[in-house]
């Protein structure tokens, strides 16, 4: 990434390894196909990692936090100060993602990539670009230089996590106003109406949702981002944490590390990462389907089927962390389960 986006060369999936593992899965002591989607995930992991027995035993979670200038337009039920307050909650080990990271024995990195406050606290990775994006209802959210800087930061944080031995990456976010940015991005890329995508976000009521929809529609019209240019989209209507997650996903894919994608905001970052480098989505699983209506459209753009559907809309990487044990269980099935031959069981 340090040499620019053109330097990214994500490897192709190992299709031959996938075929070999498919043969092994078919020999396990269950009727063929009876493991359902577990079989698909095992084979996909083999293709991603190039390993006959994929290992994702050490997950890493990176939460990027940043503020959004668009909150000036009253698009959130919460004030922007909540981003800073939740960052302290992460650092004090009190948030949902802290609990779930412990539950799956994951490394956790909290990154200030653009919070509109100066936080100095143990455990915080400070890589602030500026104090929040600009209000994209009035001007571009960020400059092209800032977009590239944030992508680089995300890429770098993922590479540092991978260097610690992480072999499955989970991305999370915190940023009041980020469902507004994500809705605008997915509307632009998918061509779907804002009306069909806009949701409650942090808990808006019907009048607030209508106001949010109007602001997004007018902002898209004013900024007119290029739907085929992910950098232009991020410049016009993006968020620092969204771009940071996209950069981290590119690093993971470049290193053949499976990515567990979380909810609406994270999936929006995944869609952008895949626009930047077309093979990025090959290394992704969607951990869950959130209750945000825009998430369904974002998942469709990735061509994925979520592992879980629990009606969640927390963010932070929580849904992906919850899905991790299921994906890990799939790797244990292929590694530890007997074949018909080894068990002396008659096959059909």
Q: Which residues are catalytic?
A: 316
Residue 34 DSSP label: T
Contact, 259 vs 252, CB < 8 A?
A: yes
Q: Distance (Å, rounded) from C-alpha 142 to C-alpha 165? A: 33
284-286 sheet: strands from edge to edge: 124-126, 107-114, 59-66, 168-174, 259-261, 284-286
Contact, 113 vs 244, CB < 8 A?
A: yes
Q: Distance (Å, rounded) from C-alpha 219 to C-alpha 137? A: 5
285 three-state secondary structure = strand
The label of the residue with tokens 């509307």 reads 187
* Residue burial 53-92, b: 16+ Cβ < 10 Å; e: rest: ebebeebbbbbbbbbbbbbebebbebebebbbebbebbbe
Contact, 169 vs 204, CB < 8 A?
A: no
Q: Distance (Å, rounded) from C-alpha 169 to C-alpha 61? A: 6
114 three-state secondary structure = strand
What phi and psi values does residue 256 have, to the nearest 5 degrees? 60, 35
107 three-state secondary structure = strand
Other residues' Cβ atoms within 10 Å of the Cβ of residue 339? 14
Other residues' Cβ atoms within 10 Å of the Cβ of residue 14? 17
Q: Quick one: tokens of 152?
A: 């680089």
């Amino acid at each position: 990434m340090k040499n620019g986006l053109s330097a990214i060369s994500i490897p192709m999936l190992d299709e031959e390894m996938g075929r070999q593992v498919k043969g092994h899965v078919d020999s396990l002591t269950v009727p063929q196909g009876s493991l359902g989607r577990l079989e698909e995930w095992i084979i996909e992991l083999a293709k991603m990692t190039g390993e006959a027995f994929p290992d994702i035993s050490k997950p890493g979670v990176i939460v990027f936090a940043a503020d959004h200038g668009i909150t000036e337009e009253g698009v959130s039920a919460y004030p922007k100060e909540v981003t800073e307050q939740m960052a302290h909650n992460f650092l004090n080990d009190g948030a949902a993602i802290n609990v779930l990271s412990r539950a799956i024995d994951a490394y956790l990195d909290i990154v200030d990539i653009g919070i509109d406050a100066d936080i100095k606290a143990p455990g915080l990775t400070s890589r602030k670009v500026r104090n929040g994006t600009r209000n994209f209802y009035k001007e571009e959210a960020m400059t092209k230089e800032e977009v590239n800087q944030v992508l680089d930061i995300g890429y770098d944080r993922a590479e540092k996590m991978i260097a610690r031995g992480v072999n499955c990456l989970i991305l999370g976010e915190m940023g009041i106003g980020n469902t507004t940015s994500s809705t605008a991005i997915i509307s632009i890329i998918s061509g779907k109406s804002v009306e069909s995508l806009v949701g409650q976000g942090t808990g808006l009521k019907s009048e607030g949702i209508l106001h949010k929809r109007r602001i997004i529609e007018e902002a898209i019209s004013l900024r007119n981002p290029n739907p085929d240019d992910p950098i232009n989209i991020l410049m016009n209507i993006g968020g620092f944490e969204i771009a940071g997650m996209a950069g981290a996903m590119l690093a993971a894919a470049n290193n053949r590390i499976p990515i567990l994608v979380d909810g609406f905001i994270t999936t929006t970052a995944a869609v952008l990462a895949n626009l930047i480098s077309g093979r990025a989505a090959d290394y992704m699983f969607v951990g869950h389907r959130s209750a945000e209506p825009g998430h369904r459209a974002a998942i469709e753009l990735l061509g994925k089927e979520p592992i879980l559907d629990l009606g969640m809309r927390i963010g932070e990487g929580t849904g992906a962390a919850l899905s991790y044990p299921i994906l890990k269980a799939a790797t244990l099935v292929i590694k530890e389960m007997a074949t018909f031959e080894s068990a002396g069981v008659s096959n059909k």
